[in-house]
Amino acid sequence: MIELIDVNKAYGTGNRALRDINITIKDGEFVFIMGRSGSGKTTLLRLLIKEEEPTSGEVFVNDIRLQSMSRRHIPRYRRTIGIVFQDFRLLKDRNVFENVAFAQRITGVPLRTIRESVPEMLKLVGLSAKYKAMPQHLSGGEQQRVAIARALINRPEVLLADEPTGNLDHQNALEIMKLLADINQMGTTVVVVTHSQELVEQMGGRVITMDRGKVISDEIQQPGLHKK
């Protein structure tokens, strides 16, 4: 479960990025976070991975009170959360297999395990055939699939995605959203930040809308109401 209680976040000079945020996301939920640029979406995700601290209020993830977590426990904590970004952030000099394997390599997971887990993840995202490809030879949609496979390799309970389809055309964006929904169906809690009203309308589900640091609505939308 993810819980933000009366959270405020002001950066340096008093720029208030988040104001009185109260959000509860239960295990296994799929949640969209929408809002204009600058409304605080990325800041909210950064609080959840303890990249930033709230100015006031409390953040809990999986019953852990993040403010109480000591610095040395942060890396281990972050491995329990998968993260995907708009710009994919793949290692350009490593092939698909190595990009997905990376998180397990650096934590000393046995090769035997990696040889099983990486193909499993690539199959999940529909990229089994491309395990030897270099990132620059993949389409944007394929690169994001690699990034999703990489984010899931440690079997996180929570997957956070910050505008994961921002660099993709509509068809690829929709496919990535459907993949995230499938991953959610398999039991992972998924939080997706997006700009795209159109995608959200097609997918449906819980939509939290932010404006100038505040949550201005939190509601369930039916899918496909405005199909084109």
Output 160 or 190, the one with its CB closest to Mg ion.
Answer: 160
| Amino acid found at 158 | V
Residue closer to ligand ADP, measured from CB, 11 or 27: 11
- Span 4-23, contacts to ligand ADP by CB under 6 A: 11-12, 15, 17
**CB of 213 within 8 A of CB of 17?**
yes
Question: Is 38 near ligand ADP (CB under 6 A)?
Answer: yes
Alpha helices in 61-213 (DSSP H): 74-78, 96-106, 111-124, 140-152, 170-185, 197-203
- What is the distance between the alpha carbons of residues 4 and 61, in angstroms, rounded to a whole number? 9
According to DSSP, the β-strands at 64-65 and 56-61 are antiparallel
User: Looking at beta carbons only, is 38 or 119 nearer to ligand ADP?
Assistant: 38
Q: Which of these ranges, 39-47, 61-69, 73-81, 165-173, lies near ligand ADP under the rule CB under 6 A?
A: 39-47
Residue 11's binding partner among Mg ion, ligand ADP, none (Cβ under 5 to 8 angstroms by kind) is ligand ADP
Interface contacts to Mg ion, rule CB under 5 A: 41-42
Nearest residue to 62 (alpha-carbon basis) of 31, 19, 28, 21? 28
Q: How far is the CB of 84 from ligand ADP (least distance, A)?
A: 14
Q: Which does 171 bind (CB under 5 to 8 A by kind): Mg ion, ligand ADP, none?
A: none
Please list the helix, strand and coil fractions of the chain in percent, rounded to the nearest 5, in that order: 40, 30, 35
Interacting residue ranges for ligand ADP, rule: CB under 6 A: 11-12, 15, 17, 35, 37-43
